[in-house]
Amino acid sequence: MATEDILIIDFGSQYNQLIARKVREHDVFCEIVPPDISAASIRKKNVKGIILSGGPASVYAKNAPSCDKEIFSLGIPVLGICYGMQLMTKLLGGKVERTRFREYGRAALTVTNRRMLFKHIPKKSVSWMSHGDKVKRMPQGFTRLALSKNTSIAAFADFRRRLYGVQFHPEVVHTEHGKTIIKNFVKDICRCSGDWSMRSFVKDTISEIRKVVGKKEKVVLGLSGGVDSSVTALLINKAIGHRLVCIFVDNGLLRKNEAGSVKEIFQKHFKINLKCVDASKYFLNELRGVQDPEKKRKIIGRTFIKVFEEEAHKVGGVKFLAQGTLYPDLIESRSAFGGPSATIKTHHNVGGLPKEMKLKLIEPLKYLFKDEVRRVGRELKMPQEVLGRHPFPGPGLAVRIIGEVTKARCDILREVDDRFISALRSNNLYDKIWQAFAVLLPIKSVGVMGDERTYENVVAIRAVTSLDGMTADWAKIPHEVLGKVSNRIINEVNGVNRVVYDISSKPPSTIEWE
């Protein structure tokens, strides 16, 4: 990977991914690792610094997560955040106690020592706290660096051993100078040079893929045309050329011209070895009469694996399967503490892994966040049209057609979706919106066209703003644009006589309707 590494030991904080992103903002590579990592294994890597994350437990609680105490004797700088600071206190002989007044949210921070960690930080600033315990007595050798109203030791340090702790969360945006604090830690205290760039990532990953795959073996990849599988395809293609075989499955549930544009970009432009399979009849046949959304998803997943396996089999002699897994999926699938965030969201993977194929996995993006994948794509000259694409669910239009999925209904929805998306593009709204699409409802409404009464379909259009799809708000598209979109849809798409705009946020609604 990179030559420098910061380890983030995961004690179950909901902000762990945020810490990783904040470290990477300074071009420093970092990894989130479970608490049972040993000091001996850390010694073998080029670890420049360790961050102990926050977490929901109390350090004296039964089964509270802990870490190898030797970590503090490696000579590597350590920064404990919240629970991490309290654990450091306990393991090094200090004392932690329950606070009388919990601190949640913004808290005024007073810095009492502006050396190293708090370099360039004003004496008074706002920090973000979320804790019920606090440090009562510091371990030997430590000095207080900051205090807040309810926490007399809000930050501390043993400058000689380069051990630091903060009770607040520098990784969240509400901590005014959090970015500088993290920079001071990774750049000044850990002395990282910041050699983690997308250019170095591309170079290292290509040589790594060559080493793993060897000079003869073949790799298959399910290419959906989305950002993740597209960037994975380009990277592997750069490494092994036509020994990467991309399989694009047209399941009949795609948007207008989708198959054509994938062929245009990957086959013609990038000269990638691409097999396009038109399995639309097969999928639609399997979906006949099915109304339940979860059943639809299962059928589509199962059918995808079947078609994909058959095609991969035809390629022959394949040893590797590539997937566009990203870091958040990886972290969630191996979270140390179980709970809801530990279950991998299988529905977010296109089809999942065909187990019976016994292929070795290649996941070149598994340490990257989405924005980093886009940067890698830019590095590889991927067109903005692909990189800026809204997410599109694996089950495609099937979860946007409420009720039974038929070719005729897919055709209507494709046309409606096309009118909506092209209007967003021509009004410069597409890139400001996180996801936009149309939904075909299972009801008909009365209308009048010319002198005739109509009785046709109703469609909903939905556009949301969001950062990660976990929460979302409905997009405030100007009324004139909505009006024009509605007119175009009703005038140009046969079978639709009414358009409604979805104004629900997530939660309590979801982004998709099914």
Catalytic site residues? 82, 169, 171
In the chain, DSSP finds a helix count (H) and a strand count (E) of 14, 18
Query: Any contact of residue 293 with ligand XMP (CB under 6 A)?
Result: no
The stretch near ligand XMP (CB under 6 A) out of 93-101, 279-287, 378-386, 505-513 is: 505-513
Kindly state the smallest distance separating residue 13's Cβ from ligand XMP, in Å.
23
Using the minimum distance from each CB to ligand XMP, give the nearer residue, 347 or 389: 347
CA neighbor of 41 nearest in space, from 64, 17, 13, 70: 70
Q: For ligand XMP, which residue of 393, 400, 420, 486 counts as binding (CB under 6 A)?
A: 393
Using the minimum distance from each CB to ligand XMP, give the nearer residue, 297 or 375: 297
CA neighbor of 336 nearest in space, from 33, 50, 49: 33
Strands (DSSP E) found in 380-471: 435-449, 452-465
Q: For residue 341, what are its two tokens?
A: 């965030």
Axis-axis angle for helices 227-240, 370-379 (nearest 10): 40
Are 165 and 134 spatial neighbours (Cβ–Cβ below 8 Å)?
A: no
Query: 302 to each of 248, 344, 354, 372, how far by Cα in Å?
Result: 16, 18, 9, 31
Using the minimum distance from each CB to ligand XMP, give the nearer residue, 404 or 512: 512
**How many residues bind to ligand XMP according to rule CB under 6 A?**
13
Query: Any contact of residue 378 with ligand XMP (CB under 6 A)?
Result: no
Using the minimum distance from each CB to ligand XMP, give the nearer residue, 162 or 255: 255
The stretch near ligand XMP (CB under 6 A) out of 87-95, 178-186, 480-488, 506-514 is: 506-514
Helix (H) or strand (E) holding 372: helix 370-379
Query: Any contact of residue 297 with ligand XMP (CB under 6 A)?
Result: yes
Q: For ligand XMP, which residue of 204, 363, 404, 512 counts as binding (CB under 6 A)?
A: 512
Using the minimum distance from each CB to ligand XMP, give the nearer residue, 362 or 398: 398
Query: Any contact of residue 389 with ligand XMP (CB under 6 A)?
Result: no
Query: Any contact of residue 226 with ligand XMP (CB under 6 A)?
Result: no
Query: Any contact of residue 506 with ligand XMP (CB under 6 A)?
Result: yes
- DSSP secondary structure code for residue 254 in this structure: P
Q: What are phi and psi of 442, to 5 degrees?
A: -90, 30
Kindly state the smallest distance separating residue 137's Cβ from ligand XMP, in Å.
46
Q: For residue 258, what are its two tokens?
A: 């989708």
Kindly state the smallest distance separating residue 286's Cβ from ligand XMP, in Å.
16
Query: Any contact of residue 394 with ligand XMP (CB under 6 A)?
Result: yes
Q: For ligand XMP, which residue of 347, 370, 378, 389 counts as binding (CB under 6 A)?
A: 347
Residue 453-492 contact track with ligand XMP, rule CB under 6 A, x = bound: ----------------x-----------------------
Using the minimum distance from each CB to ligand XMP, give the nearer residue, 21 or 347: 347
Query: Any contact of residue 222 with ligand XMP (CB under 6 A)?
Result: no
Using the minimum distance from each CB to ligand XMP, give the nearer residue, 205 or 229: 229
- How many CA atoms does the CB half-sphere of 244 hold within 13 Å? 29
CA 89 – CA 308 distance, rounded (Å)? 53
Which residues lie across from 382 on neighbouring strands? none
Using the minimum distance from each CB to ligand XMP, give the nearer residue, 165 or 394: 394
Kindly state the smallest distance separating residue 346's Cβ from ligand XMP, in Å.
9
Q: For ligand XMP, which residue of 435, 457, 486, 497 counts as binding (CB under 6 A)?
A: 435
Are 182 and 208 spatial neighbours (Cβ–Cβ below 8 Å)?
A: no
Query: Any contact of residue 511 with ligand XMP (CB under 6 A)?
Result: yes
Are 75 and 68 spatial neighbours (Cβ–Cβ below 8 Å)?
A: no
Q: For ligand XMP, which residue of 179, 348, 366, 488 counts as binding (CB under 6 A)?
A: 348
CA 247 – CA 270 distance, rounded (Å)? 15
Q: Which residues fall within 8 angstroms of residue 290, CB to CB, at 6 or more apart?
A: 296, 299, 404, 405
Axis-axis angle for helices 227-240, 198-213 (nearest 10): 60
The stretch near ligand XMP (CB under 6 A) out of 20-28, 116-124, 314-322, 386-394 is: 386-394
Parallel, antiparallel, or unpaired: how do β-strands 318-322 and 218-222 relate?
A: parallel
Axis-axis angle for helices 407-426, 479-492 (nearest 10): 140
Kindly state the smallest distance separating residue 294's Cβ from ligand XMP, in Å.
9
Query: Any contact of residue 510 with ligand XMP (CB under 6 A)?
Result: yes
Which residues lie across from 134 on neighbouring strands? 97
Length of the chain: 514
The stretch near ligand XMP (CB under 6 A) out of 135-143, 207-215, 262-270, 503-511 is: 503-511
CA 180 – CA 178 distance, rounded (Å)? 5
Which of helix, strand or coil describes residue 249?
A: strand
Q: For residue 415, what are its two tokens?
A: 């046309």
Query: Any contact of residue 258 with ligand XMP (CB under 6 A)?
Result: no
Binding site for ligand XMP (CB under 6 A): 297, 347-348, 391, 393-395, 435, 469, 506, 510-512
